[in-house]
Amino acid sequence: MLDLTAVRARFPALADGFVYFDNAGGSLVLRDVAERVSEYLLTTSVQTGASYSHSVRASERLAQSRASIARFVNASRPDEIVLGPTTSALMRLLATSMAPQFSPGDEVIVTVFDHESNIGPWHILKERGVVFKVWTINPDTFRVDLDDLRALMSPRTRLVAVTHASNILGTINPIAEIAAIVHAGGAKLVVDAVAYAPHRAVDVQACGADFYAFSFYKTYGPHFAILWGRYDLLAELESQYHYFYTKDKVPTKLEPGNANYELAWGCTGIVDYFDGLGGGTGDRAAIVRAFDAVADHEAVLGERLLGWLRDRNDVRIIGDRHAPRESRVPTIAFKLDGRRSDEIVRRVDADRIGIRHGDFHSRRLVEHLGLADGGGVLRVSMVHYNTIEEVDRLTASLERALAV
C-alpha cells in the first residue's frame, strides 16, 4: 500500500492544491531530483575526464548516474544506457545510426497507435528504399491483434517499432509476446516506453526489446531521456560523434557533445525515491515492489474515473472500459457527445484542474479513429500521487461543465 501523504510530500508542486491530471504530458518533479540537479550545478559542474579532484568527482557521478538508471530499467550493464535530451531526439539518432544496416526492399513495421516519435524518425529509411507497413488497431475495440502483426511480418522485415503503452488509449501492449514474434521473424524491436515508465517497473531484459526509450520529464524528473539498447546491437550502430569516437565507443559515440550530466545526476533521485517506496533495500526488488504498489493504486484511480464515465450515456471511452493493472495505465481518453473537447477543458481549467484535449502527437491514431474533430479527445492522465478525492473533484467539475 502506498502512503499517499508521504508520497505527496515528496512533490512540492502538489502543495498548492491544484489537481494535476496532465501527467502523460509531463509529471511533477520530485524535490530530491530538483535538489540534486541544483547541488550538482553548484558543486560538480566541471568537465569530466580530467585528473583534478572536482573532475574526478564529476566523472564518478556520471558513472553512478548511468549505473543507477541501469538498475531502474534492469539493464545488464550501465554502458547500455544512452543519455539524451528527449525520446524524439533519441529515436531520430537511433534511426540515423541504424540506417546503413538497411537495403532497398527491406521492410519496417510501424504502428498507427504510436506517438509520432516512434513513427516519423523511421521514415528517413525510405531514402534507402525501405518499404513501410502499418500495424493498426480495431477502431471499435481499440485493441491490438498479434495476428495482425504476424500477417505483416515477412522474410524482409528488419524492424518493428511499437509503443509499450499508448499515450491515449492507456493500453499496455504485450511487449514480450511482440518481441517473440519479431525475433522469430529475424527482425529487431524498438519500443517507446514514454507512456509506460511512469507507471510500471521497466525491465528491458524481460520485455525482450532490442532498443527501448523513455523520457524522465514524464517519470518525475527533468527534461531528459534515455535510450537503452542491447550492448551488441549498440556496438553495431554508426557513430554520431567525432571520427575518433569509433564504433566500439559505446555509448559515448551516441552522445554527441556533453549530455546534461546534472540532469542525469538528478535522475538518481527518481531511482532512490522508488527504492524507498519499495522498502529501501537498494536492489532491483525494491523497484519492483514500489511499482507493484503504484499499479494497485493506479488501478483504483482508473476504475473510479472509468466507473463515472461508464455510468453516463453521453460518453465514449477511447480505450479499455476497465482498468486491470496488467493491461492498462490510468491514462484515460474520452469524447462527450455533442460537446467540443476544448470547451470542456476550459471549463475544468477554471476549477484548478489540469486536463487536456487534442491528439497528443499520436495524430495518426486520432485520425484513424475518426476523432480529430471537435478539439480531439479529452485526456485525463493520472499517476500514483493522485488521489480518489482528486478524481471526485474532476467528475464534479465535469458534471458542472456538462450541465451548462
Ligand X SMILES: Cc1ncc(COP(=O)(O)O)c(C=O)c1O
Contact residues: ligand X, CB under 6 A: 24, 86-88, 115, 117, 163, 167, 192, 194-195, 215, 225, 361
Min dist. Cβ of residue 280 to ligand X (A): 29
Q: Which is nearer to ligand X, 33 or 286 (CB)?
A: 33
What's the sign of the alpha-carbon dihedral 200, 205, 207, 213?
positive
Min dist. Cβ of residue 83 to ligand X (A): 13
Whether 212 and 162 have beta carbons less than 8 Å apart is answered as no
Min dist. Cβ of residue 378 to ligand X (A): 16
For the chain, the C-alpha Rg in angstroms (whole number) is 21
Q: Distance (Å, rounded) from C-alpha 106 to C-alpha 383?
A: 40
Min dist. Cβ of residue 5 to ligand X (A): 29
In this structure, which amino acid lies at residue 158? R
Query: Within 13 Å and on the Cβ side, how many CA atoms surround 135?
Result: 29
Q: Distance (Å, rounded) from C-alpha 264 to C-alpha 251?
A: 14
Q: Which is nearer to ligand X, 25 or 78 (CB)?
A: 25
Q: Which is nearer to ligand X, 340 or 361 (CB)?
A: 361
Give which of 291, 292, 335 is closest to 315, Cα–Cα.
335
Min dist. Cβ of residue 94 to ligand X (A): 13
Min dist. Cβ of residue 368 to ligand X (A): 16
Q: Which is nearer to ligand X, 194 or 301 (CB)?
A: 194
Q: What is the DSSP letter of 123?
A: G
What's the sign of the alpha-carbon dihedral 21, 22, 27, 31?
negative
Min dist. Cβ of residue 286 to ligand X (A): 26
* Residues making up the chain, counted from first to last: 404
Question: Cell numbers of 15, please?
Answer: 502543495
Q: What is the DSSP letter of 315?
A: E
What's the sign of the alpha-carbon dihedral 181, 187, 192, 196?
positive
Q: Which is nearer to ligand X, 112 or 194 (CB)?
A: 194
What's phi and psi for 167, nearest 5 deg? Answer: -80, 5
What's the sign of the alpha-carbon dihedral 63, 68, 69, 70?
positive
Q: Which is nearer to ligand X, 115 or 297 (CB)?
A: 115
Q: Which is nearer to ligand X, 142 or 398 (CB)?
A: 142
Min dist. Cβ of residue 268 to ligand X (A): 19
Q: Which is nearer to ligand X, 155 or 257 (CB)?
A: 257
> According to DSSP H, which parts of 77-163 are helical?
87-98, 146-152
